[in-house]
């Protein structure tokens, strides 16, 4: 499995990580080695084998729809880097969310 600089840069953008030059070089090398090792899975025949996403066989756990208090807003916002008027505050969204 080959992984190059361009792939690392693409994945870093998807993961919203700003990597240093040194990290880009190191991760390209390390991810290539790991993926090569992980490719040993291809040796196993999994034809017709169901994937396991979860070991507990549960679906749609529901509870009664009864109102109960949520977490106190002040305590939740206290952990945020910036908040205003009871909201989390973020830089302008509309014009610049597209990655450069």
Partner 1 sequence: MQDARRWDDRYARGDGLPPLAGLPVAVKDNMCTTDFPTTCGSRILGRWMSPYDATVVARLREAGAIVIGKTNLDEFAMGSSTENSAFGPTRNPWDQGRVPGGSSGGSAAAVAASFVPLALGSDTGGSIRQPAGFCGIVGLKPTYGRVSRYGLVAFASSLDQIGPMAGTVADAALLLQVLAGRDPRDSTSADVPVPDYAKALNGTVRGLRIGLAREAFGEGLQPAVRTAVTQAAEVLKGQGAEVIEVAMPTIAYALPTYYLLATSEASSNLARYDGVQYGLRVPSTDLYGMYTKTRREGFGAEVKRRIMLGTYALSAGYYEGFFLKAQRVRTLVRRDFLQAFERVDLVLMPTSPTVPFRFGEKVDDPLQMYLADVYTIPVNLAGLPGISIPCGFADGLPVGLQLIGRSFEEETVLRAAHAYEQATEWHTRRPPLDGDGGGRGGTTQPRGRA
Query: Residues in the site for partner 1, rule: CB under 8 A?
Result: 3, 7-8, 10-12, 14-20, 23, 27, 30-31, 33-35, 37-38, 40-44, 46, 49-56, 58, 61, 63, 71-72, 75-76, 78-82, 88, 90-93, 95-100
Count of CB atoms within 10 A of residue 8's CB? Answer: 21
Helix ranges (H only) for 1-100 are 5-14, 21-38, 73-77
Q: Are 8 and 27 in contact (CB under 8 A)?
A: yes
Q: Minimal distance in Å, beta carbon 80 to partner 1?
A: 6
Cβ-based nearer residue to partner 1, 67 or 98:
98
């Amino acid at each position: 499995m080959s992984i190059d600089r361009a792939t690392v840069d693409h994945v870093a953008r998807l993961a919203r990580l700003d990597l240093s030059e040194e990290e880009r070089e190191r991760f390209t090398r390390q991810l290539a080695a790991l993926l090569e090792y992980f490719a040993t899975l291809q040796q196993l025949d999994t034809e017709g084998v169901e994937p396991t996403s979860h070991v507990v066989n549960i679906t749609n756990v529901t509870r009664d729809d009864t109102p109960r208090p949520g977490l106190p807003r002040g305590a939740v916002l206290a952990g945020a880097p910036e908040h205003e008027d009871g909201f989390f505050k973020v830089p302008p969204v509309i014009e610049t969310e597209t990655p450069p």
